[in-house]
Structure 1
């Protein structure tokens, strides 16, 4: 079964979140990259092999 969850957190420096996740045992799957909407996205895998997508969105 696949389950999805959308969680929105305010983060001025998303790289800090990536550092914290790596310290918690997550592994980077995709580095942060710029998106057409002005946001940035990345992906990580947790210790149980679940993949989490991360991103920023300026809104508008």
Structure 2
């Protein structure tokens, strides 16, 4: 492995409505786009990469695009670390996103909020940094 390469995990999601996913991921969760590849007709996103200023990244694309692997849209559960889950909650409410669980404190010292993206994937956003 190159010394300049930082290993990481990139969850990859598949969406039926990539425009709605893009709006949720950037507007509510605070991801920034680093690469967006539209379909030939511009009706969907074939591949996108996004990063969060606080760290981490994801990839996503259209469930309808041709791929080496079948990737049907389906419900996933993801955790995103953030210093301010209450701010994410406020953005979610302002955007009309579905809040699954209002901000709450855990018995292990974290503060979380749980949201659903436009296709039902569950995003828990909180202060837990892992062990």
TM normalised by structure 2 equals 0.35
Q: Deviations over 1:23-53 (max 9, x none)?
A: 3342100111111222112210111111111
Structure 2 residue runs of 5 or longer lacking an equivalent are 1-73
Q: Which has the higher strand share?
A: 2
44-53 or 32-41, which deviates more: 32-41
Any unmatched runs of 5+ in structure 1? none
Pairwise CA distance, 1:57? 3.0
How many residue pairs get matched?
58
Residue in structure 1 matched with residue 120 of structure 2 by the alignment: 49
- 1:1-60 aligned within 5 A: 5-9=78-82, 11=83, 13-57=84-128
Task: Select the structure of larger CA radius of gyration.
Answer: 2
Q: RMSD across aligned C-alpha pairs, in angstroms?
A: 2.5
- 48-57 vs 21-30, greater mean Cα deviation: 21-30
Distance 1:59 1:43 in 2: 17
TM-score, normalization by structure 1: 0.62
Change (3 A) 1:34 1:5: closer
